[in-house]
Amino acid sequence: MKLETAANVLAKIGNPTRLRIVRLLVRAGDDGLPVGKIQKKLGIPGSTLTHHITHLKSAGVIHQRRHQATLICTMEFELLRDLVDYLTEECCADAESRENAA
């Protein structure tokens, strides 16, 4: 993952409502959740939810699919894993050099 991609994803999920959406979709797993159920769980107006979903979709954090008349949101787990890997890939890399300097 590139720095710019990670920054964009973090910026998009760095909103309390969007983070709540992400956490709901993570809990839902691969099946995702219908938009109506997300709206009910969050207790927000449909237009507000649409605004936040648009931001998450634009960063590739979630995707939507239609099942008959129902719009279902699903977490892009691979992107989420890539982000976590990017953030932690150099974990403790400088720890040994600090110990040697002491």
Could you state, in order of their start, the residue ranges of all structural domains in the chain?
3-88
CATH code at 3-88: 1.10.10.10
- Could you give phi then psi for residue 34, rounded to 5 degrees? -65, 145
Of 23-27, 84-88, 95-99, which range is least confident?
A: 95-99
pLDDT tier at 101, thresholds 50, 70, 90: low
pLDDT of 18 strictly over 70? yes
Please report, to the nearest 10 degrees, the dihedral formed by the alpha carbons of residues 34, 35, 39, 41 taken in order.
20
Q: Which of 58, 90, 51 is nearest to 76 (CA)?
A: 58
